[in-house]
Amino acid sequence: MSGKPKLHYFNGRGRMEPIRWLLAVAEVEFEEQFIVTMADLDKLREDGFLLFQQVPMVEIDGMKLVQTRAILNYIAEKYNLCGKDIKQRAIITMYSEGILELGEMIMDLPYRYPGAEEKQKKVILEKVTGRYFPVFEKVLKDHGEDFLVGNQLSRADVYLLEVILTTEELKADILSNFPLLKAFKARISSIPTIKKFLQPGSPRKPAADEKSIAEVKEFLAEMRQREAAGP
């Protein structure tokens, strides 16, 4: 059996994408088993592999971990992406949770707001420029260092770069009033492991397109139908 972590999720970004990012930063090679049909998800459930019947699930170090945050915490701790002491860890967690929350809002955009997607996109972009990005622009300005916390790379830096790139897909000039975030983006993107992850052919997933959005919607509808039908 290979010692590589095995990721079980759909062939898209979703909740697995920050997990892929952290593994790439830690230079951990991984395998992916994509869930394509409801039968694939059923099989994992029947095998008893999904504690709460949900994915993402990651097989790693003899465990079958579920819950995105638990998986991220484990990888970040194992590969020293959580700061040097408990105070740094607290700040890194605080930044990370904020950024992950924003990432989830963006992830949900094509699925949760039928008929009101453009309006919701506007709401999100206003939060990005009015709430989230000013926080990190100020952090970088106040301490003048290269990374968000403790002058070393942490998971907060990784998540922030990820969310910057995702928001740029929604609005290309989103960083125009954030010069320090612009420099941060260039700096963090040039870290060799990250540079490699950003190149074509890496396990990084592309932005959802019409076809993949339609597939996910179909999957969600099937799940809802099943739930409504009961056990």
Asked whether position 110 contacts ligand GSN by CB under 6 A, the answer is no
Q: Can you list the alpha helix ranges (DSSP code H) found in 26-85? A: 38-46, 68-78
Asked whether position 55 contacts ligand GSN by CB under 6 A, the answer is yes
Could you tell me which stretch among 64-72, 80-88, 117-125, 150-158 binds ligand GSN (CB under 6 A)? Answer: 64-72
Write out the binding residues for ligand GSN, residues 5-24 only, by CB under 6 A: 14-15
Residue 231 CB, shortest distance to ligand GSN, in Å, is 12
Give the span between the Cα atoms of 36 and 10, in whole angstroms. 6
Q: Total binding residues for ligand GSN by CB under 6 A?
A: 10
- Which residues have C-beta within 8 Å of that of residue 38, sequence separation ≥ 6? 219, 222, 223, 226
Asked whether position 83 contacts ligand GSN by CB under 6 A, the answer is no
State which residue, 77 or 111, has the beta carbon closest to ligand GSN. 111
Asked whether position 56 contacts ligand GSN by CB under 6 A, the answer is yes
State which residue, 15 or 20, has the beta carbon closest to ligand GSN. 15
- Would strands 6-9 and 31-34 be described as parallel, antiparallel, or unpaired? parallel
In one-letter notation, the amino acid at residue 25 is: V
Select the residue interacting with ligand GSN from 26, 28, 54, 198 (CB under 6 A): 54
Half-sphere exposure of 43 (CA within 13 A, CB side): 10
State which residue, 107 or 139, has the beta carbon closest to ligand GSN. 107
Q: Which two three-digit tokens encode residue 35?
A: 């869930």
Asked whether position 68 contacts ligand GSN by CB under 6 A, the answer is yes
State which residue, 54 or 129, has the beta carbon closest to ligand GSN. 54
- Which residues have C-beta within 8 Å of that of residue 82, sequence separation ≥ 6? 76, 88, 89, 92, 93, 154, 155
Could you tell me which stretch among 47-55, 84-92, 93-101, 160-168 binds ligand GSN (CB under 6 A)? Answer: 47-55
Could you tell me which stretch among 50-58, 86-94, 145-153, 202-210 binds ligand GSN (CB under 6 A)? Answer: 50-58
State which residue, 52 or 115, has the beta carbon closest to ligand GSN. 52
Scored b (16 or more CB within 10 A) or e, 131-165 reads ebbeebbebbeeeeeebbbbeebbbbbbbbbbbbe
Go through the chain and tell me how many residues it has.
231
Which residues of the shown chain bind ligand GSN in the complex (CB under 6 A)?
Answer: 14-15, 53-56, 66-68, 223
